[in-house]
């Protein structure tokens, strides 16, 4: 589970073709802005990750990739070996039957009581979306200013 952040602004639509020729302008403003946004969101969410074994918190990561107009920010878990259960913790689980097999002991049936959604990723997004829009909006304005300079 992760959030993926892409930069797109209707205000820049006319300049996109120009930025394809000058990607260093977008890189100059959007990369630092994306790093600020991703770091802030990651720090906020990381403090709210429920801890039982510590594996989920230890494997939580942030990353900014790409260049020019293709910059992306990621916050969460991705790649191989990530904690499979983190989506269940985020969204909760309904009560359900569990059948498990233990070699030599046979099949056991039990009832899992379920648990409420923790919503730490959703809360992190909701609490940070305003800052994200502001920071990336300021970066977009700087790009427009740089494009306006002859």
**Which residues does residue 102 pair with via DSSP β-bridges, in sequence order?**
106
3-class state of residue 97 by DSSP: strand
Task: Tell me 15's DSSP state.
Answer: G
Instruction: List the one residue out of 95, 69, 94 whose CA is nearest residue 8.
Output: 69
Q: Using an 8 Å Cβ cutoff, are 114 and 96 in contact?
A: yes
Q: Who contacts 10 (Cβ-Cβ below 8 Å, separation ≥6)?
A: none
76-118 pLDDT, tens per residue? 999 888 998 899 999 999 998 887 766 766 667 688 899 999 9
Q: What is the pTM of this model?
A: 0.76
Structure token pair of residue 136:
């990336």
112-136 pLDDT, tens per residue? 899 999 999 999 999 999 999 999 9
How far is Cα 23 from Cα 66, in angstroms, rounded to an integer? 11
Distance, C-alpha 150 to centroid of its chain? 37
In this prediction, residues 14-29 reach a mean pLDDT of 81
Banded model confidence at residue 8, pLDDT cuts 50, 70, 90: low
3-class state of residue 145 by DSSP: helix
End-to-end CA distance of the chain: 44
């Amino acid at each position: 589970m992760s959030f993926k952040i892409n930069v797109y602004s209707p205000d820049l639509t006319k300049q996109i073709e120009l930025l394809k020729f000058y990607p260093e302008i977008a890189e100059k403003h959007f990369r630092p802005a994306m790093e600020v946004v991703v770091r802030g969101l990651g720090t906020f969410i990381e403090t709210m990750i429920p801890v039982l074994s510590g594996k989920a918190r230890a494997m939580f990561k942030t990353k900014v990739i790409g260049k020019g107009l293709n910059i992306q920010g990621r916050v969460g878990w991705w790649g191989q070996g990530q904690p499979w259960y983190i989506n269940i913790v985020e969204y909760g689980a309904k009560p359900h039957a569990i059948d498990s097999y233990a070699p030599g002991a046979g099949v056991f049936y039990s009832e899992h009581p379920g648990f409420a959604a923790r919503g730490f990723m959703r809360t992190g997004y909701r609490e940070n979306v305003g800052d994200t829009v502001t920071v990336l909006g300021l970066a977009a304005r700087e790009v427009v200013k740089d494009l306006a300079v002859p």
